[in-house]
Amino acid sequence: MTSRRSFMTKSAAAALAAPFVAGPRQLFAQTAQENQWDSWDAQVTPAGYDPSFSNPWDLHPRFLPRRVEANDGLRAGDIHVDAVARYLYHIQGDGTAMRYGVAIGQDDLYEPGTFRIGRKARWPSWTPTANMIRRNPEYEEFAGGMPGGPNNPLGARALYLYVGSRDTYLRIHGTPQPWSIGSRASSGCVRMVMPHIIALYDQVEVGATAHLYAA
């Protein structure tokens, strides 16, 4: 079993709809939403944003993005989530890693394991699972799905975690609740501050491996 120590750096749940052929109304709605993506990105990104020090969310400084030295033997492009320290590491090709602060699943909802990034989405829609609705009945109003946007629980970007060809309904995603970073707050997913996931999203390839270590 892979341990947390084996990857530590030297420096320190939405359902997918079945495929369908979209009609003109669906295509129009999708295009209208996509036209808002850039403005939404600007809305959730602080003015003069600099990842090394911009912190309007009052995060602990250790949760700001940092480039750190990675241990030898880690594959470039992969993601490692340290659920104890609440860090996500994205391994670079030069022996370093980009480190971000995250929130993880509350109680026993966090699921460690090795996953494949099976899909990526910008400003994704969100559909709570049946288990999420059972735990949080207020989610019932979104049983048919919630369109993407700044108040959507998946935030600005989402990386979808798969095992083989099976969607696990676990995600690495943005959050409209940045104060949750560093805690156990989600329904099983890994949460990131919006500008942080926006930066990570462009660097992660579909097919990359995500290692979520035990908490």
Using a pLDDT cut of 90, give the percent of the chain over it: 69
Are 174 and 158 a contacting pair, CB within 8 Å? yes
Q: How far is CA 166 from CA 32, 35, 58, 115, in A?
A: 30, 31, 37, 10
Q: Is 81 exposed, middle or buried (0-12, 13-18, 19+ CB in 10 A)?
A: buried
pLDDT band of residue 27 (cuts 50, 70, 90) is low
Q: Which two tokens stand for residue 200?
A: 């990570």
**Nearest partner of 206 among 126, 119, 147, judged by Cα:** 119
Lowest average pLDDT, out of 4-8, 10-14, 62-66, 143-147, goes to: 10-14
